Amino acid sequence: LTDLIYTNFAAEVNTLATLVDNKSSNDGQLRNAVFVHDFESPLLHKLTWPKVSWAPGLFDLDNDTDLDLFFANGHLNSVSGDNRQSNLLFENDGRGRYTDISERSGILATGERIHRSAIFADYDDDGRVDIFVTVNGQQVEDGQGNNIFDPHQGKGVLFHNETKSDNNWIKVRLEGTKSNRDGFGATVRITVGPNKYEQALISGQGYFSAHAKEIYFGLGSIESIDKIDVSWPSGIDQTFENIPVNQTVYIVEGKTMHQNTSHLNVK
C-alpha cells in the first residue's frame, strides 16, 4: 500500500501518513482504506517543527530495501527574519522508525541556505541515489530586518551518495509505445521469493521537483530477482523472469527488456 509524506509551514510538523486497509471485503480489493498519521516518530516531529520544508523525498539511501527520508528546507523571504535553514536526512530502521543522520551523513556540511526543490537520481550510475537541491537567490535577511548578500545562495548543491554498503540494487527505465513515451503512470513490481516490492513512475514529487525517469530499488542481500512485472497505463502487462541484480534494465512497452542498458541508440 502507498504511504504519504507531506510537509507543513514552520511550527507545524512534517507528517508521515500510512495507508491502512481493514480488508473487510476479503476479495483482495482495496476498500475502506484510510490514511493514518504516524505519531510514533517524535524525533522527526521535533526537528521539522521549526523548518519550512519544500521537497520531501522517500528514497533508499543505503540500498537496504527500506525508504529513508530527506527534506529540503528554507523559510520564506521577508517573513521570518533569517530565512536560511539546513536540510534534514533521516534513516529508516526497517520498521518505519527514523533516526536523524543529517550531521554524520554530510548533509549539513553546506550550511544553511534557502533550499527549495530536491531532485533524486543516480547521476554517475554507481548504484547509489544522489540528491541535487536548488537554492533561492543571493539576497537574504539576516534576522534583524536587514537584506544582505550571501554568495552561497543561488547555487544548487549536489550531494554525492558515498554510503559504504555491499547491498544490491536494480534500476528500471521505461519506454512507452502505446502509453506515453516516458512511461509515467506505469507500475513496476519486483518479486523475490515471498517478498514483493512495488513502485510507480511519476513525473514529479515535491516543490518544483522532477526526478530521474527511472525506478530504483535497493535490494539488500538479494542476489537475483525472480520476476519483474510492469503494468502500463495502456493496460498492457509484461513479465520478465530471472533478472540479475546491480544493473539498469530498459523495458520497452509490449516488446522486450534490454539488460545493462540505460539508453537505446536512436537511429
d(CA 47, CA 102) in angstroms, rounded, equals 11
Lowest-confidence segment of 131-140, 207-216, 239-248 by average pLDDT: 131-140
For residues 129 and 59, the answer to whether their CB atoms sit within 8 Å is: yes
The pTM score is 0.85
Alpha helices in 55-208 (DSSP H): 102-105
Q: How far is CA 20 from CA 7, 33, 154, 198, 242, in A?
A: 20, 5, 41, 16, 32
Task: Convert 59-97 to b/e letters by CB count within 10 Å (16 or more is b).
Answer: bbbbbbbbbbbbbbbbbeeeeeebbbbbbbbbbbeeeee
Helices (H) and strands (E) in the chain, counts: 2, 20
Range ranked top by mean pLDDT from 150-154, 177-181, 263-267? 177-181
pLDDT at 16: 74
- CATH top-level class for 168-258? mainly beta
Domain boundaries, the chain: 4-159, 168-258
Q: Which residues pair with 149 in a beta bridge?
A: 139
Q: Cα angle at 97 between 223 and 89, to 5 degrees?
A: 85
- Other beta carbons within 10 angstroms of residue 249's beta carbon come to 22
Q: Strand (E) positions, the chain?
A: 4-6, 15-21, 33-37, 53-59, 68-73, 88-92, 98-100, 115-121, 130-135, 139-141, 147-149, 157-159, 168-175, 187-192, 195-200, 215-220, 224-231, 237-244, 247-252, 257-258
Mean per-residue pLDDT, 108-122: 92
Mean per-residue pLDDT, 79-106: 86
Would the pLDDT of 27 be above 60? no
| Per-residue model confidence as pLDDT tens digits over 147-176 | 777 777 788 999 999 999 999 999 999 999
d(CA 92, CA 131) in angstroms, rounded, equals 17
Would the pLDDT of 193 be above 60? yes
Give the rounded percent of residues in the chain with a pLDDT score beyond 70. Answer: 84
pLDDT higher at 7 or 150: 7
pLDDT higher at 14 or 214: 214
The C-alpha cell 528514497 sits at 59
Would the pLDDT of 40 be above 60? no
Residue 77's pLDDT band (cuts 50, 70, 90): low
Residue 267's pLDDT band (cuts 50, 70, 90): very low
Phi, psi of 17 (to 5 degrees): -125, 125
